[in-house]
Structure 1
């Protein structure tokens, strides 16, 4: 009788989820051509904002923040441009390779073969992978958090080169839609704001 009770208890205990492999995560990104999602963002100072995210791999991403924030971040042509709605001056610009986002916007992602995974673990039925350019640790890091069945990116944390952390949670990520090149064209955005 004790054996049957013990077996019932074992079978009733939820099985811990296994972490998603680096190869599965790489395949997920490599299969992604476009994606859109609503997002919520929290900085380490407690500031919160929301907006819409557009991804077009390789190398392009756009963050449109909702009012009253209304900041715009455009990544394209190997550059990151941060547009401040209060200024008509040129946006803050820097090379994409100086951002940890570059690690997942590459043409071919192969996490198992690149020397950039500094942590890979499972917690609360989610898999987390922390990526950093070890040759340039001052660029910061990105931690990606995924759910399984199917594999899907749910959130990430970016630490920038000044040590500031930003936590982004994605909602309703959809893949495969058509996204215009103009969404990721920094020069077009600059001209539009000067008109």
Structure 2
């Protein structure tokens, strides 16, 4: 059954872009000891996800106050992502590998962020190496394995948690927590991999966006 959605609020949009997201945990997790963070199983999952160079599907987004919206997403590694939100939301989000842009069609405005300063950079990277200091935690459960990533020197206290099916290694959900501890979660479904995209899908019209938009660091 397809979920129903309420209007995407400005708080929800800001939460997603600023990394205000964290666990909408569907089942309880038990933390794995620190010396298990680099376990072979977790690294295999990370390698599998990194090997998927493109995917498309549908999503449900949960904002910091429980707001819900949805739509379609498109991902091309490295660095490219697009979210088209369903009506009545008039929002779409584009990452072109350098910047992340939020377009509000109703207000005719743009907000822009350097991709390198958001946890989305970790989701969209070519390789997830669990030996790096960015790994904050690995949580295992029979139904889900969660890998929590963050880089304090770049993102401050923001983190991104990626949740995978332990059998198929498919990504099911990611959640981002910002420095204020606000949470936004994105669940994906009806996912297809190995999709070919036109480059225009991830094009940010900088000439249009920057004069009337806001660039945030």
- TM-score normalised over the length of structure 2: 0.73
Question: Counterpart in 2 of 1:51?
Answer: 71
> Structure 1 residue 29 and structure 2 residue 49: aligned?
yes
Partner of residue 126, structure 2: 107
- Residue deviations 1:80-113 (CA, integer Å, cap 9, x gap): 1011122223x11111111111012123322x22
Deviation, structure 1 residue 138: 2.4
Query: Which string of whole-angstrom CA distances, capped at 9 and with x for unpartnered residues, describes residues 36-90 of structure 1?
Result: 111011112111101111000011011110000131110013101011122223x
CA distance in structure 2 between the partners assigned to 1:83 and 1:135 by the alignment = 28
The answer on whether the counterparts of 1:99 and 1:139 sit within 8 Å (CA) in structure 2 is: no
Q: Which blocks of at least 5 consecutive residues in structure 2 are unaligned?
A: 1-31, 33-38, 213-217
Question: Judging changes above 3 Å, is the alpha-carbon distance between structure 1 residues 171 and 189 closer, same or farther for their aligned structure 2 residues?
Answer: farther
Map 1:95-174 → 2, pairs under 5 A: 95-110=114-129, 112-138=130-156, 140-174=158-192
The CA distance in 2 between the partners of 1:81 and 1:33, in whole Å, is 21
Contact 1:74 1:186 survives alignment (8 Å): yes
**Equivalent residue pairs, number:** 173
Larger Rg: 1
Residue 162 of structure 1 deviates from its aligned partner by: 4.2
Greater shift in the superposed pair: 48-57 or 100-109: 100-109
| Alignment check: 8 A CA contact 1:20 1:148 kept | no
| Aligned partner of residue 62 in structure 2, secondary structure | strand
1:88 to 91, 108, 124: 108
CA RMSD of aligned residues (A): 2.3
Structure 1: give runs of 5+ residues left out of the alignment: 1-17
Q: Check whether the contact 1:44–1:165 (CA below 8 A) recurs between aligned residues.
A: yes
Give the Cα–Cα distance (whole angstroms) in 2 for the partners of residues 86 and 127 of structure 1: 39
Structure 1 residue runs of 4+, over 2 Å off?
A: 18-22, 136-139, 160-164, 188-191
Judge conservation of contact 1:146–1:152 (CA < 8 Å) in 2. yes
Counterpart in 2 of 1:73? 93
CA contact (8 A) 2:118 2:155 kept: no
**1:175 correspondence with 2:193:** yes
| Greater relative contact order, per chain length (Cα 8 Å cut-off, separation 6+) | 2
